[in-house]
Structure 1
Amino acid sequence: MRKHLFLLIVAVVSLLNTSVKAQELKAKVTVMAGRVATTVDRKIFTTLQTQLNNFMNNRKWTADVFRENEKIECSFIVNIESAVEPNIYKASLTVQAARPVFNASYQAALVNFIDPELLFKYVEFQPVEFNENRVQGTDAAAANLTAVLAYYAYMIIGLDYDSFSPKTGEPYFRKAQNIVNNAPEGQRIAGWRVFDGLRNRYWLNENLINTKFNIIHDVVHTYYRSGLDKLIENENEARANILQALIQLSAFNKENPNTMILQFFMQGKVNELIGVFKKGTAEEKLKATEILSLLDIPNANKYKEELK
């Protein structure tokens, strides 16, 4: 009897430990190195890909417990353009993340972004590590790779939280801010500083922690939780809420033109938005077309053609 009780306790403790340690991300990291000179042993990129997948999926990013079906699906494509020095690579990073829509099989895009500034050092089998208290590490180029990935992990988690309840993502935007403030510094390392351009990691994070831009958190919540999540339950109400989110975003854009967060939010949503408003009233289509043509200028003609 005691033996059976002991085994039961062990099983329960084991199950609890598994739950507590459950990671937040269901990430797929792909390393593409077709442009790199053939003198480089290709096996190194396979090893790097394996290590980065382990890093993103095995690390605990929050103190919360995520069930398997709650994990955030995301992908990271490291597109290596060249080896600028032995073991030092210049790359771009494509970041995508999705959020399931309530009562549907559809995954709505949270993030769809290309970061063009990724310089990193990698020696095969070197540890792939990240320390929040020592972001820079002893080797800036080596630390930069995990710093960038950790930054986007926190930004994705923050946006996911915001999509369920406004401002609940702030702790993770602050963690990303810590990475920005302590980012690796070195020759050709870019994307972390205010003067590295208008579309970089610094400005994306700044826009999401700037209290002047708090309306953005409401827009994110309204668009996903009050909009997309209600499409099955009440399509008309959901569409009206999504339109309201766009109206808020339009007002924000008039007061704060050319912000990075606006472009970031609109990326990858064109087909989704057309699908939502195609079933709307003539008035909704007209209003949506008017707003979207200004918020998403590259796709203005597509909105006008599809929603006429």
Structure 2
Amino acid sequence: MHFIRISILFITLFAIPNLGDAQELKAKVTVMAARVATTVDRKIFTTLQTQLNNFMNNRKWTSDVFKENEKIECSFIINIESAVEPNIYKASLTIQAARPVFNASYQAALVNFIDQELLFKYVEFQPVEFNENRVQGTDAGVANLTAVLAYYAYMIIGLDYDSFSPKSGETFFRKAQNIVNNAPEGSKIAGWRMFDGLRNRYWLNENLINTKFNIIHDVIYTYYRAGLDKLIENENEARANILQALIQLNALNKENPNSMILQFFMQGKTAELIGIFKKGTFEEKQKAVELLSLLDIPNANKYKEELK
């Protein structure tokens, strides 16, 4: 399954010595705490940032072998809004991930999402650990931080695999589902349950494992592998495939209006799509504007203006 990704990256990136059983993520975790009261020792946030970077980058998330130049580039920005109780923090989490485009230096966004519901407990130098067989841990506040990060690690890996080989990310979406099903529970912990809102971890994972959304996996593969990866080799074919992915996505949206996966998929792709279809035929531009005005409503005017 992973050999497709390996062959693509081996061709497109400079050769790097084989480091053997390297981890899968090239993650950068940033902890921002400007809003937290000055009575809190700032050093704690530097310590937390270091521990989380080690956690994300040193853990093996799959059983597959990744070379150094195959790692998935991603970033996690924890923006701490307040200390709601001693050692307990309320934050938002910005998650971004990208994958390389074949024969290009361009990195295409896989994930560009803000999770508004991150509550966690942290005491300086406490162990930062995650056990997928015991997600809840002994302290919900402590466990919630690594559970959230592990959830997004698996979701990123699943989306990356889907983008290189049809429906190959399911194993990792199921691992994320296990975290959802066994998530830490607490009076102020949110984002894991279906009734926590319509745009949360539960619904994102649900949309990616529910069979009625199966077409989204075809959309992901078509958009990236049959679309972006072919732009250099055959731009016209690539653009036609990307248009087909949008047609499939629109069909999914008609059957499941306002689903989370639609918003999630479209986030951060506006400039990319405009650049792709600017070089298209008049008919392709017309069709793209028609579809994108339905799929990405907040940016509908941008598409109409740029692709007229």
Regarding TM over 0.5, the answer is yes
Match of 1:12 in 2: none
- Consecutive unaligned residues of structure 1, counting only runs of 5 or more, are 1-14
Match of 1:3 in 2: none
Q: How does 1:1-308 map to 2 (within 5 A)?
A: 18-20=19-21, 22-308=22-308
Match of 2:11 in 1: none
Aligned mates of 1:284, 1:177 — CA distance in 2: 38
Aligned mates of 2:69, 2:291 — CA distance in 1: 35
- Consecutive unaligned residues of structure 2, counting only runs of 5 or more, are 1-16
Aligned mates of 2:167, 2:279 — CA distance in 1: 31
SS at match of 2:229: helix
1:192, distance to aligned residue in structure 2 (A): 0.0
1:117, distance to aligned residue in structure 2 (A): 0.1
The TM-score, its normalising length taken from structure 2, stands at 0.94
1:206, distance to aligned residue in structure 2 (A): 0.2
Match of 1:5 in 2: none
1:228, distance to aligned residue in structure 2 (A): 0.1
1:166, distance to aligned residue in structure 2 (A): 1.5
The TM-score, its normalising length taken from structure 1, stands at 0.94
Aligned mates of 2:141, 2:151 — CA distance in 1: 16
1:187, distance to aligned residue in structure 2 (A): 1.6
1:214, distance to aligned residue in structure 2 (A): 0.6
Aligned mates of 1:24, 1:168 — CA distance in 2: 16
Q: Counterpart amino acid of 1:282?
A: F
C-alpha RMSD of matched pairs (Å): 0.8
Runs of 4+ with deviation above 6 angstroms? none
1:212, distance to aligned residue in structure 2 (A): 1.0
Higher-Rg member (1/2): 1
Aligned mates of 1:266, 1:307 — CA distance in 2: 17
1:69, distance to aligned residue in structure 2 (A): 1.2
Aligned mates of 2:294, 2:68 — CA distance in 1: 39
Identical pairs, percent: 89
Aligned mates of 1:193, 1:209 — CA distance in 2: 15
SS at match of 1:166: coil
SS at match of 1:19: coil
Q: Counterpart amino acid of 1:148?
A: V
